[in-house]
């Protein structure tokens, strides 16, 4: 029963979708410019096959180990009666705050020679497990205890009742979380580069930087994007099926906490060990290198200038992303037509795009079409917008849909023009949510590494690129202050996410 | 203080036509109720008048101003029509005073107007309260004050009392009616509650399937409904089969005068419960089956010798009890609809 959106709003939304899709479209066009033969030739190289096998093995391996570790952890933090319950939930969510390259750097600098496939598996599993823990724990906390009670009244034991009722409820959330982990691993550039694992992202970056093999890098990018799209499609299918599991009606009771009795120490040991691997080792590594660096002295001016430029470029990205997200978010909240859905899908494309692909596409696009824009803050802001606009759209959409449309109609009937009605009523009520979304984009963009490496203006260094440069030349103690600064900045959104965690882990790129 | 005229209106959501070929006139200063079941298009009609929905065809005028015509659709902000929606829809980020002042220009004059309206709705000094601090009834009063503040020619009320409990609903209804009279504002109320429509309005328009099937004064709608469905919708109805001739109908309860003398042949005589009168009768023809007591009146269900039952309404303390034998007769004249 929703009326049609105004043409101005549709046009603004369409512009946002075009900005989001332009880099990928241009990349595809450029790739096939090289001729189908060249593309197929690159595609059939043995190296491409090896990269595909290695990338998928890493993604699937990490996803499976996250499931194996994440589901028991989720059950413990959600349903078990444990001492210091709140602490364990925070510890389980905290690895989200670690950018993958910071964690990898901490491990490398602690254990000499730590590198390769299994090293990357370990590090990526340790920081990605929250993507499974948080949604599964949320489902477990919301699960109606009446289901288990009914199963027990029908003669099942406590464990069999749980296995028959609550466990199946968590399956869609766990599967969606695991697919998100796989997507995150496939897109990850930082950890695999620091730990020297040849997967798509690292190969793309290497062939872009070393030989400037444009076609090679572009073809690999397209294969990677295809895999990412497949994962996102699977994830959304799983999630939409998860929606139909919910049965409404009545107010639900809080599920009672289960006393583990003599198993309590074992449960605590499990949580302590997994937290020690995910958080303890990186914290120890960073602390050691910090202490070491203190002896040589921290380059405070450099740290300050890197922090300032990080905030500056990420701020530009957050402003642009939010500005472009506003029309899309309003359309998504207020109107459900075919064209608004198309706009939303287009604007969300960055959710499936690895940062290295967006970086590469924008390098091509600016060098060819807009040479004046190559390696400018604006182009970098566009990259952040493409990657993180989905977060901003989500915030605008949620904030807008909480304002009933009838309020805007009342303002119109009392003499306000459509724009004034929006600014005087909807915007006034929704702005805190929109601002929180912009802040989230800002904090996420601060940690971005691959696109920043490729697109930053010459001479501009962010915390992430400073850290990167120093890990490349193995000057670990000099890198530590930048890593610590990044962790402190990144902890903020993880804190926000764990506090407002409604059930879905929102994707945070590296 | 304006005359509303809607002609040949047609409105649709996508391809779903909800209002078709609709005509309605509301006289200056009077209150009209649009009465209909949910889904009949009454809220759509209201949205077209307010300007929230663009009709497909037809015209809407307010006095000599054209709101909607071929090629002309005035936006809601230029119509000067106040709206009171369900649940009030007060702006949650503004206090009561600012809500009422929303449609007024800034200044001293407006502040006086807000005070005046707060007095009118019986909430003097409530400027600083937040909407969330108000009860449902108070929210509706403020919503009405907000709609009346710019002195609109017309106020639209979209089931504004439906969310309130019964006692509050009646008293708020009286207050609103008094305010509308006091300000001389033309008003259109949309409701599915027949009692509300009949008691509130000067004119009731019954809507069905996107059309207005009858528009008349409340007592005419009640006593002389245009068809059987309208008759059933606007109140309790007793339907007695009979045959009509020369302005009278013969039924199982005897002969009754008809309002429309031209009708002949097989008919359904449509009666209101208060048109059935009972008399104690030892050898009577009917037996009281049940009695439902409402306080100010009560309904008695009586089984007739032919097996059918009729309900009658009586006021005062109940006299008849289940099992009593009674005789029933009709107090005419009555409405009848031909069944041939």
**pLDDT tens, position by position, A450-495:** 999 999 998 899 999 999 888 877 778 888 889 988 888 777 665 6
Grade residue A502 by pLDDT with cuts at 50, 70 and 90: very low
Closest-CA residue of chain B to A416: B77
- Whether B5 shows a pLDDT value over 80: the answer reads yes
Residue A372 forms contact with B (CB below 8 Å) = no
- Residue in B53, B79, B83 closest to A3 by CB: B53
- Residue in B13, B52, B93 closest to A409 by CB: B52
**pLDDT tens, position by position, B86-99:** 888 889 888 999 99
Q: Which of A237-241, B81-85, B140-144, B254-258 has the lowest mean pLDDT?
A: A237-241
CATH 3.40.50.300 fits B4-231, yes or no: yes
- Residue in B53, B89, B93 closest to A410 by CB: B89
| Within-domain flag for A215 | yes
As a whole number of angstroms, the distance between CA B9 and CA B60 comes to: 8
**Domain residue extents for chain B:** 4-231, 237-338
Q: Cβ–Cβ of B103/A3 closer than 8 Å?
A: no
- Residue in A406, A409, A414 closest to B103 by CB: A414
Residues of B in contact with A1 (CB under 8 A): 13
- Whether A154 shows a pLDDT value over 80: the answer reads no
Task: Note whether A117 and A156 are same-domain residues.
Answer: yes
Tell the burial category of A167 from Cβ atoms under 10 Å away from its Cβ (0-12, 13-18, 19+).
middle
As a whole number of angstroms, the distance between CA B200 and CA B177 comes to: 7
Nearest alpha-carbon partner for A439 in A481, A482, A490, A484: A490
Residues of A in contact with B83 (CB under 8 A): 409-410, 413
Grade residue A248 by pLDDT with cuts at 50, 70 and 90: very low
What does the block give as tokens for B309? 């039952």
What CATH number should be reported for the domain holding residue A238?
A: 1.10.3720.10
Q: Cβ–Cβ of A407/B89 closer than 8 Å?
A: yes
| Within-domain flag for A499 | no
Residue A359, min C-alpha distance to chain B (Å): 42
Residue B154 forms contact with A (CB below 8 Å) = no
As a whole number of angstroms, the distance between CA B45 and CA A33 comes to: 57
Helix (H, G, I), strand (E, B) or coil at A188: coil
C-alpha distances in angstroms, A295 versus A102, A282, A367, A463?
Answer: 21, 20, 44, 21
Asked whether A89 and A271 are in contact (CB, 8 A), the reply is: no
Task: Note whether A303 and A280 are same-domain residues.
Answer: no
What does the pLDDT average to over A211-221? 79
Residue B125, min C-alpha distance to chain A (Å): 23
Residue A416, min C-alpha distance to chain B (Å): 5
- Whether A506 shows a pLDDT value over 60: the answer reads no
Task: Note whether A178 and A71 are same-domain residues.
Answer: yes
Nearest alpha-carbon partner for A138 in A119, A166, A160, A110: A166
Listing from the earlier edge strand, what are the strands of the sheet with B265-271? B254-257, B248-251, B238-245, B265-271, B335-338
Residue A417, min C-alpha distance to chain B (Å): 6
Task: Note whether A141 and A237 are same-domain residues.
Answer: yes
When the pLDDT of each residue in chain A is averaged and rounded to a whole number, the result is 85
Look at strands B186-191 and B154-158 and give their pairing: parallel
Q: Cβ–Cβ of B76/A412 closer than 8 Å?
A: yes
Residue B103 forms contact with A (CB below 8 Å) = yes
As a whole number of angstroms, the distance between CA B246 and CA B264 comes to: 7
Residues of B in contact with A338 (CB under 8 A): none
Task: Note whether A63 and A209 are same-domain residues.
Answer: yes
Task: Note whether A3 and A122 are same-domain residues.
Answer: no
**pLDDT tens, position by position, A278-327:** 999 999 988 888 888 777 777 788 889 999 999 999 999 999 999 999 99
Would you tell me how many other CB atoms lie within 10 Å of the CB of residue B164?
A: 19
As a whole number of angstroms, the distance between CA A145 and CA A127 comes to: 31
| Within-domain flag for A501 | no
pLDDT > 90: percent of chain A: 38
Residues of B in contact with A417 (CB under 8 A): 75, 77
Q: Cβ–Cβ of B50/A413 closer than 8 Å?
A: yes
**pLDDT tens, position by position, B287-302:** 888 888 888 888 888 8
Q: Cβ–Cβ of B83/A417 closer than 8 Å?
A: no
Q: Please count the structural domains in chain A.
A: 2
Task: Note whether A181 and A121 are same-domain residues.
Answer: yes
Residue B14 forms contact with A (CB below 8 Å) = no
Residue A302, min C-alpha distance to chain B (Å): 45
- Whether A364 shows a pLDDT value over 60: the answer reads yes
Helix (H, G, I), strand (E, B) or coil at B326: strand
Enclosing domain of residue A345:
1-23+298-472
Task: Note whether A4 and A139 are same-domain residues.
Answer: no
* Residue B256, beta-bridge partner list: B249
Residues of B in contact with A414 (CB under 8 A): 77, 82, 102-103, 146-147, 150
Residue B153 forms contact with A (CB below 8 Å) = no
The residue ranking higher by pLDDT, A11 or B109, is: A11
Residue A237, min C-alpha distance to chain B (Å): 29
What does the block give as tokens for A322? 């939010």
Closest-CA residue of chain B to A415: B77
> Residue B329: enclosing H or E segment and its boundaries?
strand B325-330
Would you tell me how many other CB atoms lie within 10 Å of the CB of residue B134?
A: 18
The residue ranking higher by pLDDT, B93 or A4, is: B93
Q: Cβ–Cβ of A410/B93 closer than 8 Å?
A: no
In the stretch 414-443 of chain A, residues with CB closer than 8 A to chain B read 414-418, 421, 425, 428-429
Residue B83 forms contact with A (CB below 8 Å) = yes
Residues of B in contact with A409 (CB under 8 A): 50, 52, 76, 83, 85, 89
Whether the pTM exceeds 0.90: the reply is no
What does the block give as tokens for A157? 């034991």
C-alpha distances in angstroms, A392 versus A18, A96, A330?
Answer: 16, 19, 12
Task: Note whether A218 and A284 are same-domain residues.
Answer: yes
Question: What pLDDT was estimated at residue A495?
Answer: 63
Q: How far is CA B325 from the centre of its chain?
A: 38
**pLDDT tens, position by position, A115-148:** 899 999 999 999 999 999 988 988 888 777 777 7
Task: Note whether A146 and A218 are same-domain residues.
Answer: yes
Grade residue A508 by pLDDT with cuts at 50, 70 and 90: very low
What does the block give as tokens for A138? 């949320």
Q: Cβ–Cβ of B103/A1 closer than 8 Å?
A: no
Q: Cβ–Cβ of B85/A406 closer than 8 Å?
A: yes
* Residue B302, beta-bridge partner list: B288, B310
Task: Note whether A101 and A216 are same-domain residues.
Answer: yes
Closest-CA residue of chain A to B93: A429
Asked whether B134 and B106 are in contact (CB, 8 A), the reply is: no
Interacting residues of B147 by C-beta distance below 8 A, sequence separation 6+: A413, A414, B82, B83, B84, B155
Closest-CA residue of chain B to A414: B103
| Within-domain flag for A379 | yes
Entry field: residues in chain A: 510
Q: Cβ–Cβ of A418/B75 closer than 8 Å?
A: yes
Residue A84 forms contact with B (CB below 8 Å) = no
**pLDDT tens, position by position, A234-244:** 888 887 665 44
Grade residue A155 by pLDDT with cuts at 50, 70 and 90: low
A–B interface: beta-carbon pairs under 8 A:
60
Closest-CA residue of chain A to B89: A407
- Whether A509 shows a pLDDT value over 50: the answer reads no
Q: How far is CA B238 from the centre of its chain?
A: 21
Task: Note whether A340 and A414 are same-domain residues.
Answer: yes
pLDDT > 70: percent of chain A: 90
Asked whether A387 and A232 are in contact (CB, 8 A), the reply is: no
Question: What pLDDT was estimated at residue A250?
Answer: 45
Residue B85 forms contact with A (CB below 8 Å) = yes
Q: Report how far apart the first and last C-alpha atoms of chain A are (Å, whole number).
A: 41
Q: Cβ–Cβ of B102/A411 closer than 8 Å?
A: yes
Would you tell me how many other CB atoms lie within 10 Å of the CB of residue B8?
A: 12
CATH 2.40.50.140 fits B237-338, yes or no: yes
Most confident of A233-242, A251-260, B190-199: B190-199
Q: Which long-range contacts (CB under 8 A, 24 or more apart) does B61-68 make?
A: B61/B4, B61/B5, B62/B2, B62/B3, B62/B4, B62/B5, B62/B153, B62/B154, B63/B2, B63/B3, B63/B153, B68/B9
Interacting residues of A282 by C-beta distance below 8 A, sequence separation 6+: A98, A102, A103, A106, A107
- Residue in B52, B92, B102 closest to A414 by CB: B102
**pLDDT tens, position by position, A372-392:** 888 899 999 999 999 999 989
- Whether B273 shows a pLDDT value over 90: the answer reads no
Q: Cβ–Cβ of B76/A3 closer than 8 Å?
A: no
Question: What pLDDT was estimated at residue A19?
Answer: 92
Query: Could you give the count of Cα atoms lying within 13 Å of B330 in the half-sphere of its Cβ?
Result: 24
Residues of B in contact with A421 (CB under 8 A): 77
| Within-domain flag for A319 | yes
Residue A265 forms contact with B (CB below 8 Å) = no
Question: What pLDDT was estimated at residue B255?
Answer: 87
Q: Cβ–Cβ of B79/A404 closer than 8 Å?
A: no
Would you tell me how many other CB atoms lie within 10 Å of the CB of residue A406?
A: 16
Q: Cβ–Cβ of A412/B146 closer than 8 Å?
A: no
Nearest alpha-carbon partner for A100 in A496, A486, A501: A486
| Within-domain flag for A255 | no
């Amino acid at each position: 029963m929703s009326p049609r959106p105004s043409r101005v709003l549709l046009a603004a939304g369409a512009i946002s979708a075009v900005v989001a899709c332009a880099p990928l479209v241009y990349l595809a066009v450029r790739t096939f410019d090289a001729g189908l033969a060249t593309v197929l030739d690159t595609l059939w190289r043995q190296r491409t096959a090896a990269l595909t096998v290695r990338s998928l093995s890493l993604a699937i391996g990490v996803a499976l180990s996250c499931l194996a570790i994440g589901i028991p952890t989720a059950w413990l933090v959600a349903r078990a009666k444990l001492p210091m319950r709140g602490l364990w939930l925070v510890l389980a969510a905290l690895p989200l705050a670690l950018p993958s390259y910071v964690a990898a750097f901490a491990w490398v600098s602690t254990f000499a020679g730590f590198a390769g496939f299994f090293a990357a598996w370990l590090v990526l599993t340790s920081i990605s497990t929250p993507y499974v823990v948080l949604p599964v724990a949320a489902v477990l906390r919301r699960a109606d205890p009446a289901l288990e009670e009914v199963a027990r009244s029908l003669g099942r034991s406590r464990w069999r009742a749980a296995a028959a009722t609550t466990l199946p409820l968590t399956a869609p959330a766990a599967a969606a979380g695991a697919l998100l982990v796989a997507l995150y691993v496939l897109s990850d550039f930082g950890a695999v580069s620091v730990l020297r694992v040849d997967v798509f992202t690292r190969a793309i970056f290497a062939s872009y930087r070393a030989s400037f093999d444009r076609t090679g890098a572009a073809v690999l990018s397209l294969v990677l994007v295809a895999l990412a799209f497949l994962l996102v499609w699977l994830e959304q299918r799983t999630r939409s099926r998860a929606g139909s599991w919910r049965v409404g009606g009545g107010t639900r009771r809080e599920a009672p906490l289960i006393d583990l009795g003599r198993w309590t120490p074992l449960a605590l040991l499990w949580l302590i060990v997994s937290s020690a691997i995910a958080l303890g080792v990186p914290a120890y590594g960073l602390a050691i290198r910090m202490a070491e660096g203190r002896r040589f002295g921290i380059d405070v001016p450099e740290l300050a200038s890197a922090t300032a430029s990080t905030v500056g470029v990420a701020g530009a990205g957050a402003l642009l992303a939010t500005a472009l997200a506003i029309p899309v978010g309003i359309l998504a909240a207020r109107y459900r037509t075919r064209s608004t859905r198309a706009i939303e899908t287009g604007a969300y494309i960055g959710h499936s795009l690895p940062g290295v692909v967006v970086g590469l596409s924008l390098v091509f696009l600016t060098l060819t079409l807009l040479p004046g824009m190559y390696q400018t803050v604006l182009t970098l802001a566009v990259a952040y917008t493409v990657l993180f606009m989905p977060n901003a759209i989500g915030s605008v959409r949620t904030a807008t849909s909480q304002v009933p449309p009838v309020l805007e109609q009342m303002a119109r009937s009392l003499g306000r023009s459509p724009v004034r009605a929006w600014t005087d009523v909807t915007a006034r009520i929704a702005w805190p949510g929109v601002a929180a979304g912009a802040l989230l984009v800002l904090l996420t963009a601060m940690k971005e590494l691959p696109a920043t490496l490729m697109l930053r203006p010459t001479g501009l260094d962010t915390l992430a690129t400073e850290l990167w440069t120093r890990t490349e030349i193995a000057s670990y103690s000099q890198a530590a202050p930048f890593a610590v600064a990044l962790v402190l900045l990144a902890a903020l959104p993880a804190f926000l996410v764990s506090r407002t965690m409604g059930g879905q882990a929102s994707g945070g790129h590296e | 203080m304006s005359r509303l005229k809607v002609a040949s209106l047609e409105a649709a959501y996508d391809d779903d036509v909800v209002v078709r070929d609709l005509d309605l006139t509301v006289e200056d200063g009077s209150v009209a109720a649009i009465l209909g079941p949910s889904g009949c298009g009454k809220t759509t009609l209201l949205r077209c008048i307010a300007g929230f929905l663009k009709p497909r065809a037809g015209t809407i005028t307010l006095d000599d101003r054209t709101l909607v015509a071929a090629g002309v659709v005035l936006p809601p902000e230029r119509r000067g029509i106040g709206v009171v929606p369900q649940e009030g829809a007060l702006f949650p980020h503004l206090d009561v005073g600012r809500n009422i002042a929303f449609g007024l220009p800034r200044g001293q004059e407006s502040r006086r107007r807000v005070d005046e309206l707060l007095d009118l709705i019986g909430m003097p000094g409530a400027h600083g309260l937040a909407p969330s601090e108000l009860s449902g009834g108070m929210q509706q009063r403020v919503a009405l004050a907000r709609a009346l503040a710019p002195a609109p020619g017309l106020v639209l009320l979209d089931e504004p009392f439906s969310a309130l409990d019964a006692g509050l609903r009646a008293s708020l209804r009286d207050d609103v009616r008094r305010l509308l009279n006091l300000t001389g504002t033309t008003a259109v109320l949309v409701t599915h509650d027949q009692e509300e429509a009949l008691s509130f309005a000067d004119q009731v328009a019954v809507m069905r399937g996107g059309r207005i099937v009858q528009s008349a004064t409340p007592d005419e709608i009640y006593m002389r409904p245009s068809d059987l469905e309208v008759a059933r919708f606007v109140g309790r109805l007793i339907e007695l089969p009979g045959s009509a001739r020369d302005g009278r109908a013969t039924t199982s309860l005897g002969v009754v005068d008809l309002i429309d003398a031209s009708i002949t042949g097989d008919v359904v005589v449509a009666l209101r419960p208060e048109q059935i009168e009972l008399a104690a009768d030892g050898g009577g023809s009917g037996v009281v089956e049940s009695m439902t007591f409402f306080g100010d009146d009560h309904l008695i269900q009586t089984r007739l010798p032919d097996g059918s039952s009729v309900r009658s309404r009586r006021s005062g303390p109940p006299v008849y009890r289940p099992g009593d034998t009674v005789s029933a007769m009709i107090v005419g004249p009555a409405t009848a609809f031909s069944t041939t």
